[in-house]
A = this chain, B = another copy of it.
Amino acid sequence: MPLESVDISKTASAATIIFDALKKAIIEGEIEEGAPLRQDEIARMFNTSRIPVREAILRLEEHGLVRSQRYKGAVVSSLSSTEASEIFDFRAVLEPHVIHHAVPRMTRETLAQARGFCEAFHRETDPMQWGDLNRQFHATLYDASGLTYHLEAIDGALNRIDRYLRAQLVLSRGMSRANDEHMQIQEACERGDADKAAELTRQHILGARDSLILHLSSITG
């Protein structure tokens, strides 16, 4: 047939649109911890009824991003420093395994793309962009592993601590240190040294954990 087949972009459901928007706002810290999510307030913001809002909130709760009590509503989840620390440890177990599996499967395109993000991260002057570029760099390397279940679990863990990671990058030496470590990881991957890439990744995560915990305890005592 002479017509080009065009992907009719089936507009997502209202519930999905609201879910994505709330997820982004919560992850990036736009809504603060403990803040309540009022169903009809959100419904008005999206010009829908409360039904898709409730579905979005339910899905967020399954990911641990909000906590809700019957008849009392949902609030954005907060993390104690021990909970945050455990999630870093979780990442420190999974991510070295994933990158080790990924290194022998990385293509030239993978490495070029990762290097692009790595350098963009280095050059970027807007702190609001650091968090995204950081995640894109790591995700590009990890994606080569093809371990979709692992990747989803890592993504969920990152979502839970994303606002802390962003705060961390703004700290005195957070950005420059992350940048140095990214460069080392990138180079290990380019050399095909899976063991080194895995160990550097582990230390990258545990270092971030320790510096964050130190920071949190210096604030709250």
Complex contact B55–A90 (CB within 8 A): no
The yes or no answer to A62 lying at the interface (CB within 8 A) is yes
CA distance A153 to B149 in the complex (A): 11
CA distance A58 to B62 in the complex (A): 9
The yes or no answer to A115 lying at the interface (CB within 8 A) is no
Chain A interface category by residue count? 20 to 34
Interface residues as binary, A122-157 with B (CB distance below 8 Å gives 1, 0 otherwise): 000000000000000000000000011110010001
90-139 of chain A: CB within 8 A of chain B: 90, 93-94, 97
A59-B58, A70-B10 known; A87 vs B149 contact (CB < 8 Å): yes
Q: Given A89-B147, A149-B157, 15 more contacts at CB 8 Å?
A: A13-B70, A15-B58, A54-B55, A58-B58, A58-B59, A59-B61, A62-B62, A83-B148, A83-B149, A86-B148, A86-B149, A90-B149, A90-B153, A93-B94, A93-B97
